[in-house]
Amino acid sequence: MTFYWGNNRRFNSWSTYAQNKFGNRLQKISVNAGFSCPNRDGNISYGGCSYCNNEAFSPLYCSKTNTSITEQLNEGIHYTKKRYKKVDKFIAYFQTYSNTYAPIEILKEKYKEALSHPEIIGISIGTRPDCINDENIALLQELKKNHIIFLELGIESCHNKSLKRINRGHTFEQTKKAVEILSSKDIHITGHLILGLPGETREETLKQAGIISKLPINSLKLHQLQIVKGTKIAEEYLKNPKDFNLFELDEFIDFVISFLERLSPEIFIERLCGDVPPRYNLGISWGNLKYDQILSKIENRMEEMRTYQGRLFNPSQ
């Protein structure tokens, strides 16, 4: 069966689309460019997001002090070529903290260093809705003339009560405004959303599929809430575990399928769950399964159910 997006996968896979468009896998190479966040340095708050510990998802080469972007890319590309034999197209992924949160001259310097690497064909920039402004948008548009440019925006939740509880320091209204501006400038937007934040019912979390579908985003990354060592939310969890309704694996598989059913079929899916290293995980363990194994379980279950992304999507709601 061929679905809305032109192939037989049961969700609109970005990786499948990118491989067809670019002729091969687009592999992201993470870099730590030394940025901070406005909810870390006191501009709007201190301490950062309560769930955040960058060490839990950043490669070891990104944690080295005084290591240049070029050196990080060299090491990341070397490792990736050993792991994936046929990969030859690389994107520099500015992943750590808020990577548009700096004066424009610093942004230019950092981005252009990455783009000057002979094996890098583009950049993907992780940031926050409140760190988007006219200057950095204009810079992205200029770079976009000759390079692939993606912007990854931490939405995290559509509910302001959840954003407040996790100390995001911005509102969902700010997210909508940033997305609308970026979309009007034809910049590829990937939204990040955390499923199962404390204080949200399953119904409230599921409702976000319809809310997200109304935003002019291109792609979506989903993450289940994970309790990561060294975070404020880990302290809260250890003190009051009953405040948290974490997903067991089978429950999450069914839930994320329900989410996909209600999501617009036009939105590419870049990721369907997170997989923090076991040594950092204080919450529910899924048996140390890797992402590809969990993804396979989700797709097999969708096949059994004969369902697909957008099956219950209603654009009028």
Span 204-243, pLDDT tens digits: 999 999 999 999 999 999 999 999 999 999 999 999 999 9
pLDDT computed for residue 298 by the predictor: 98
For 36-45, letters b (16+ CB in 10 Å) and e give ebbbbeeeee
pLDDT tens track for 45-64: 999 999 999 877 777 677 66
H-helix or E-strand spanning residue 151: strand 148-156
DSSP 230: T
pLDDT computed for residue 87 by the predictor: 83
In the chain the domains, ranked by start, together with CATH numbers, are 14-305 (3.30.750.200)
Q: Could you report how far apart the first and last alpha carbons of the chain are, in Å?
A: 27
pLDDT computed for residue 227 by the predictor: 95
pLDDT computed for residue 25 by the predictor: 83
For 73-109, letters b (16+ CB in 10 Å) and e give bbbbbeebeeeeeeeebbbbbbbbbbbbbbeeeebee
Does this model's pTM top 0.85? My answer is yes
Spatial separation of the C-alpha atoms in residues 150 and 36, rounded to whole Å: 20
Q: Mean pLDDT per segment of 10 residues, for the chain of length 317 residues?
A: 95 94 89 95 94 80 77 93 85 96 97 97 97 97 96 98 97 98 97 96 97 98 96 95 94 98 98 92 90 97 98 89
pLDDT computed for residue 65 by the predictor: 61
